[in-house]
Amino acid sequence: MPELPEVETVKRGLAPTFEGALITKVDQNRPDLRFQFPVDFANRLTGRRLTVLSRRSKYLLGDIDSGDVLVMHLGMSGSFRIENDLADATPGSFVHARSKDPKHDHVVFHLESADGARARIVYNDPRRFGFMDLIARPALAEHPFFRDLGLEPLGNDLGGETLARLFNGRKTPLKAALLNQKLIAGLGNIYVCEALWRTGLSPERAAGTLVTRTGRPTKKAEELAANIRATLEDAIRAGGSSLRDHTQADGTLGYFQHSFAVYDREGESCRTPGCTGTVARLVQSNRSTFHCPACQT
Ligand SMILES: [Zn+2]
């Protein structure tokens, strides 16, 4: 499943084509993906302009000049392809290669930019766990998709103080607390493993141990907040470079997993300088946790 950095990379890749464009036509090739499309989906977009493309957690949000927001989720296997006269590109960096089989092209947005350039943004999704919806902008924050979401880990809100407030008194394992979408939205398994490893923190310690008795963040809490942001930003940068590479390549984007320091490296040597430990895997909340028992305490 694409994680937040992939979705952010997709957003940055689509924005130059999508933002400000007039939607001249929408091909909706089936009645549903994971969910039914909203009533009149294509009609409600046709002849409208997408003003701003943003992201909340793993949702892409396209503000439409009608007041609707086009909500798009990639699910497990969804991807967007930009087609224009110059080149085709699939923005985003994914552990698994994206499909280019046209039989899985479910939605095509036909676009015309302010300067008259034409492009198509094609949504492809072999497994169809992705979905799209149209939600009125004022109703968005209270919509079931969004109302329980915690703060954005990439925003300026995430610091040691925030972690101390979120984790104060919590006895749940640190990894479970970081994956709790009601606390921090969009932080996924891979990047939690990576950030905990960078910080030298055990995924099994209680989340509340990052908070002092007076409710202040510990030094490790400050480091963890910084490492969460740095881990995500590094991944986004890697995705950005793959976007450039991809316009000249064959569509294989599988190399990105090799840049993980601890995730999926069970039995291999820990990469922390000076550490002689071996990466181990354990299962927490039905998810694999990769960590180094020697330097993560
Ligand atoms: Zn280690």
pLDDT reading at 243 higher than 70: no
Q: pLDDT per residue over 188-202, tens digit each?
A: 899 999 999 999 999
Looking at residue 56, its pLDDT comes to 96
Q: pLDDT per residue over 249-265, tens digit each?
A: 334 443 344 478 999 99
pLDDT reading at 266 higher than 70: yes
Note residues around ion ligand 1 (Cβ under 5 angstroms): 270, 272, 275, 277, 292, 294-295
Only one residue has tokens 């046209």, namely 102
Higher pLDDT pick, 87 / 73: 73
Residue 86 pLDDT grade (very low, low, confident, very high; cuts 50, 70, 90):
low
State both tokens at 83.
Answer: 């087609």
pLDDT reading at 116 higher than 70: yes
Low-confidence winner among 63-67, 80-84, 120-124 (lowest mean pLDDT): 80-84
Give residue 196 CA to ligand 1 midpoint distance, Å.
11
Looking at residue 95, its pLDDT comes to 59
Residue 106 pLDDT grade (very low, low, confident, very high; cuts 50, 70, 90):
very high
Give residue 165 CA to ligand 1 midpoint distance, Å.
28
State both tokens at 17.
Answer: 């084509």
pLDDT reading at 138 higher than 80: yes
Looking at residue 156, its pLDDT comes to 77
State both tokens at 72.
Answer: 């798009």
pLDDT reading at 240 higher than 80: no
Mean predicted confidence (pLDDT) in 93-122: 85
**DSSP secondary structure letters along the chain:** ---HHHHHHHHHHHHHHHTT-EEEEEEE-SSBSSSBPPTTHHHHHTT-BEEEEEEETTEEEEEETTSEEEEEE-TTT-EEEEEESS-EE--S--SSPPP--GGGEEEEEEEE-TTS-EEEEEEE-SS---EEEEEEGGGTTTSTTTTT--B-TTSTT-SHHHHHHHHTT--SBHHHHHH-TTTBSS--HHHHHHHHHHHT--TTSBGGGGB-TTSPBPHHHHHHHHHHHHHHHHHHHHHHHHHHHHTTS-S--GGGGGG-SSTT-TTSBP-STT---B-EEEEETTEEEEE-TTT--
Q: pLDDT per residue over 148-176, tens digit each?
A: 999 999 977 899 999 999 999 999 999 99
Residues with a catalytic annotation lie at 2-3, 58, 287
Looking at residue 96, its pLDDT comes to 61
State both tokens at 231.
Answer: 């881990």
Give residue 202 CA to ligand 1 midpoint distance, Å.
11
pLDDT reading at 244 higher than 90: no
d(CA 110, CA 25): 5
Mean pLDDT rounded to a whole number for the chain: 89
Looking at residue 52, its pLDDT comes to 97
Give residue 295 CA to ligand 1 midpoint distance, Å.
4
Give residue 297 CA to ligand 1 midpoint distance, Å.
10
pLDDT reading at 269 higher than 50: yes
d(CA 277, CA 249): 37
Mean predicted confidence (pLDDT) in 62-73: 98
- Residue burial 233-243, b: 16+ Cβ < 10 Å; e: rest: ebbbebbbebb
Residues, the chain: 297
Q: Using CB atoms within 10 A of its CB, is residue 232 exposed (0-12), middle (13-18) or buried (19+)?
A: buried
d(CA 17, CA 279): 42
